[in-house]
Structure 1
Amino acid sequence: MRRVGYGLIFLSMFFLLFTGCATFKPVDLNPRINSGQLVQKTNNFVVLFDKSASMNDMHGKPRFVGNPTRLIYAKDTTKNMIATMPDISLNAGLRTFWAEKTVLIYGMAPLNKEDYTKAVNSIEMVNSRTDLGKAITAAGFDLRGAPGNSALIIVSDFDMSPVVGDIKNVPDIRHEVVIDAISRVNTEYGDKLCVYAIQLGYTQEGKDLSEQIVQNVAGGYTINADRLENPAVMATFVEKVISGNCDRYQRYVAKPVEKLVIVVADEPIVQEKVVAVAAVAADKVVVLAFEDIHFDFDKSTLKPEAKAILKRNIQILKDNPKAKVRIAGYTSASGTNEYNQSLSERRAAAVQEYLISEGLISSDRLSTIGYGETDPTMYEAAPKELYSKAAKANMRALFQIIVQ
């Protein structure tokens, strides 16, 4: 009886592991296309698919059964993306890369979802290095002569190979080669090309390289594959690809305005020190130090400790009546881009309301902005860990100050 029980449990776990992708139900984007709400501006796309040795590592996403390899998770993500594509005319390509090789295994040809999915299913793991730079260069040739606008979608861990022969952790992705290749492609295509980086795994090195890639093109966007498991998030991502919605990556990062100085302090700085800093500033910009405040998960209400901090910040504002404040709200990585953007704006607004109602700070000295989950103060290795140290650090609002 016990053997039968164990057998049933094993079969159930096996079924869940290998049929997990079947639970993905793509959002139907055809009504949005037909109604004109979603306008197609992208005519061509190429997926660069990493099948090097490091893709055999675990993706790192928590599951009841276990973690799939990055390769398996990447294949599921790519197939889900294709399933979400609306019924429109697209010229498509699928190019794998590994070692010093790169092969176009589909296209360039009109997108046929069934054939494209078969091509994705045919991808197998190899034990070798990653030559992303060569693949990017080859994709530039794939798109050459294609009419209209194009998308380059890179599906990779952007990380080193764990083992090559007897050598461990080989730094086989040469960042300078990758950046040179993407810069050359960007020079050729300019604003006719959007680049999307889908990261597998959660290594900081991989995240850094994916961000560097999209920072070096006319338009780019990066996201972890884990977030695309949600059909609604995948639909939003596909809409970006279809509509060519890929503003420069820098626009998603909090940037100071002209002469803006941002200082965040764990403890308040005494005013005498602040004045001393201002006295030596050549452009007569006064530097003020403010503490940032933090929120509970999915909340925009001010906690008692946040109000105590704001009272100290209010006093600094009263002591510097020429100061104008921009309040920037942020969130952790859990949740959709759209929801986090809204939440970050609500957090900034809550701070503004408190400054006006409790501190009697004039509204014409205040402005707010929300940055969602962009520009985190700490990298979140596992976004689904809602109360991790990094997540708590990112649920914040900070002050951006300028005094002329």
Structure 2
Amino acid sequence: MVHRVDHVPLMSSGPGTQRFLTVHRFGTIGARPKLYFHAALHADELPGTLILNRMLGWLAEADCEGAITGEIVVLPIANPIGLSNRIMGYHLGRYDLDGDGNFNRWYPNLARKIAARVGNSLTDDRDENTAIIRQASLEAVEAWPGEGEANTLRKTLLGLSVDCDFIFDLHCHGEAIQYIYFPENHWERYGDLAAELACRTVLLFPTDEGTNFDVASTVIWHHLRKSFPDRPIAEPPFTTTVELRGQNDVGDDTALPDAEGLWRFMQRRGVIAGDPGEPPPLLCEPTPQSGSDDLVAPCAGVISYRIAPGDRIAAGDVVADIVDPSEPDFEKARTPVISRATGVFYGRNLSRLVRPGQSFAVISGSEPLPANDLPVIDY
């Protein structure tokens, strides 16, 4: 198939306004495996846009040479709504300013509706069931009302990805080392991705619940496998969220090696022709997402960090002090924040001003932690 570009319109938010998604397609429509990439769902997280831009030319060339097996869908910009969220010169792309929340939350859980659609159609053949489930998933997404512009975006992105074998959601943190959220059921088979991307933290997460984009497709398969244990149903698709360092780590110098890593991962799966060679060594061992300590501010103030992203820390050590600049006593002005985990300090917010209850930094840990007693405000 020749490289094809589609412009998919979103619901208009008002007279005279129309946004659309630019969707690049490579390979053969309907062929397997099918891969989906998008970047900047949180529209102020831009490193992935340059990675996918770099890959577009490579994919077009590979397509012309017949070097692609399957179908590849690429959206270098996944959120034109969030790109427009500018207030007094500041870009705020994480939330819909019109009130529809975090752009990476509140994707519909369509598992029960799909189960009702396929219950009488499933067979004793795994491949037949896979085709039935994928078609039912596409139909269920199409039937979801998705009212409002932000929900139209959610519906469109889910419709483009729900039938895929591999789903890549490219994000970044405020300030961070390279890290990745990795589906725990796929680590043994696909862990070389973390090595190819030189990730210094790997967070294993379950894919059977949640409203994030990265689990909107997988919850379907988990539910069906539990609901119809006597029918052969494939494992959920591989889905991952890659955190590409920090918001200011945007440039061709970092985009190129990351794009090359994704390319070699695809070659190793037979999607792209060519020899990827042996994967590089892993830079870390995976840890459970439930072991991460999400540091929460106990009071308002200005943060003074004692460590930087990438540093190791032990449980009980002080990560940062929250300072009340108006308190003249130096010691009294400082409230220490202590790590509950022993691991790597892998990310923190850009802003150094915090409110009580605000999550502001994260530390990986090998053991699951109890929920934090403080109410967490997600910024």
Q: Report the TM-score, using the length of structure 2 for normalisation.
A: 0.24
Structure with bigger strand share is 2
Q: Report the TM-score, using the length of structure 1 for normalisation.
A: 0.23
Find the structure with the greater CA-based Rg. Answer: 1
Q: Using CA pairs below 8 Å that are at least 6 residues apart, which structure has the higher relative contact order?
A: 2
